[in-house]
Amino acid sequence: MQPSDLRVALFSGNYNYVRDGANHALNLLAGHLLAHGVTLRVYSPTAATAAFEPTGELVSVPSVGLPGGRGEYRLGLGLPASIRRDLARFRPNIVHVSAPDVLGHRAVSWARRHEIACLASLHTRFETYAGYYGMGFLEPIFTTLSRRFYNRADQVMVPTPSIEALIRSWGVRTPIELWGRGVDHDRFHPGARSPEWRRALGIADDEVAIGFLGRLVLEKGLDIFADVVALLRERGVRHKVLVIGEGPAREWFAERVPDAAFAGFQRGDALGRAVASMDVLFNPSVTETWGQVTSEAMAAGVPVVAARATGAVDLIDDGVTGVLVPPRDVTAYANAFQRIIHDADLRSAMGAAGRAKAQRYRWDTANQAVLDAYLRMLERRGR
């Protein structure tokens, strides 16, 4: 069995219409597969304006905007006849589903009905989202649906051991392998730091910049971020908040951190400059499966303060490359920042240790694990 024998139908809830960590990984995977001769076809909802050009051939799946103020994301409406006909013409021998949404569930059913090998990858802790929008009572339902989804696949791939342990605790029995993530080391490195760029944003050379990097959405822990910053101000701890990103909660966040420097959405080398120009990254999210922003900050030599939660516990060596804090413990976060802000040598040592650890995160290695998993799945079926 060779990569050129593979015909992969990849299903995504958001392949390229809103930029996020999940579709960043999927598009890089697509590039790796195509470079190795795999025939690939992607099925995903689309929007009138895409965030970026997709990698590979993209088939638009009928969808509607999500309710509840998150209309920038779309919900695929399953597999209508037109998509089923397209799949029949494509004749995949691997179905790869990347989200336990309606589209993903229908794709798994289609694969099982046609006796096609099905791999499910986990990118997002959707079960945690409901609590941020006043619907925490739905979390057990989402967990049950996710367990059913992953148990119907032939193979599951997760980014980190902590996520493997989590879904095993849900009752997932399907074989699980790791699909880690990489970092663009040509972009994220200490040499990208720019004092001039910091000054243009109003950050003094002797100010410690506490950075936020990512989409400005509630599930990223913006409330905790704001509460910690407020406590630091109350204690008189000098610092500057640097926010990199945009999103629907921007106005809400700006009101909570009024003295912050908002640099907006950055991409390419400008993003590398922004990350390296932080002095410490604050990632209070408990919804991560890997934490791409954490690994990018580490590669740039920036220490990280993060919630002791999935993803972060696999990346951060507590007290060595950064600090892990009990989720939502505002006082513990403030204590950690107070120590780091007042100790430049500690920041430097943590940054260097993080950069050294991040050298192992390579996209080619990570994505080859998926390609190898595809091949093993078909070889097992051939025996």
What is the pLDDT confidence band of residue 68, given thresholds at 50, 70 and 90? low
Instruction: Over range 50-54, report the average pLDDT.
Output: 94
**Spatial contact of 117 and 381, defined as CB atoms under 8 Å apart:** yes
Torsion angle (degrees, nearest 10) of CA 47, 53, 57, 61: -10
What integer best gives the mean pLDDT of the chain? 96
Query: Taking a C-beta distance cutoff of 8 angstroms, is the pair 150, 167 a contact?
Result: yes
User: CA dihedral defined by 235, 237, 240, 243, rounded to 10 degrees?
Assistant: -50
Contact 92, 115 (CB under 8 A): no
Segment 14-36 mean pLDDT: 96
Convert 51-61 to b/e letters by CB count within 10 Å (16 or more is b).
Answer: beebbbebbbb
CA dihedral 113, 116, 122, 125 (to 10 degrees): -10
Amino acid at 253: F
Residue 70 pLDDT? 67
User: Among the listed ranges 70-79, 155-164, 200-209, which one has the minimum average pLDDT value?
Assistant: 70-79
Place of tokens 């195509």: 34
**pLDDT recorded at residue 130:** 77
Q: Are 166 and 314 in contact (CB under 8 A)?
A: no
pLDDT band at residue 359 under the 50/70/90 scheme: very high
Residue 260 reports pLDDT greater than 60? yes
Q: Could you tell me the two tokens for 76?
A: 């695929």
What's the Rg (C-alpha) of the chain? 21
Tokens representing residue 376 in the block: 């093993």
Q: With bands split at pLDDT 50, 70 and 90, how would you rate the model's confidence at 194? A: very high
What does the block give as tokens for 202?
């109003």
Does residue 69 surpass a pLDDT of 90? no
Sorted by where each starts, the structural domains of the chain and their CATH numbers stand as 3-182+362-382 (3.40.50.2000), 190-358 (3.40.50.2000)
The pLDDT of 79-105, averaged and rounded, is 97
Is the confidence at residue 381, as pLDDT, over 90?
Answer: no
pLDDT over threshold 90, residue 43:
yes
What share of the chain has pLDDT > 90, as a percent?
A: 90
Q: What is the pLDDT of residue 29?
A: 99
Catalogue the long-range contacts made by 90-93 (C-beta closer than 8 Å, 24 or more residues apart): 90/7, 90/9, 90/41, 91/7, 92/7, 92/8, 92/9, 92/41, 92/116, 93/5, 93/6, 93/7, 93/8, 93/117, 93/378
Q: Is the pLDDT at 67 greater than 90, yes or no?
A: no
- Rounded to an integer, the average pLDDT of 267-290 is 97
pLDDT value of position 348: 98
Confidence of residue 126 (pLDDT cuts 50, 70, 90): confident
Q: For residue 330, is pLDDT > 80?
A: yes
Under DSSP, is residue 31 helix (H, G, I), strand (E, B) or coil?
helix
Residues 222, 299: Cα–Cα separation, whole Å: 24
The whole-number pLDDT of residue 131 equals 78
Identify residue 12 by its one-letter amino acid code: S
pLDDT at residue 365 tops 60: yes
Question: Where residue 175 falls among pLDDT bands split at 50, 70, 90?
Answer: very high
Average pLDDT estimate for 163-173: 98
Q: How confident is the model at residue 326 (pLDDT cuts 50, 70, 90)?
A: very high
What are the DSSP E strand ranges found in the chain? 7-11, 39-44, 57-60, 63-65, 74-76, 94-97, 117-121, 155-158, 176-178, 209-213, 240-244, 261-264, 280-283, 304-307, 322-325
In this prediction, residue 72 carries a pLDDT of 80
Q: How many helices (H) and strands (E) does the chain have?
A: 14, 15
- Distance (Å, rounded) from C-alpha 74 to C-alpha 30? 21
Average pLDDT over every residue of 21-38? 97
Report the distance separating Cα 282 and Cα 363, nearest Å.
Answer: 24
Which residue reads 């499910």 in tokens?
A: 120
Q: What integer is the mean pLDDT of 283-309?
A: 97
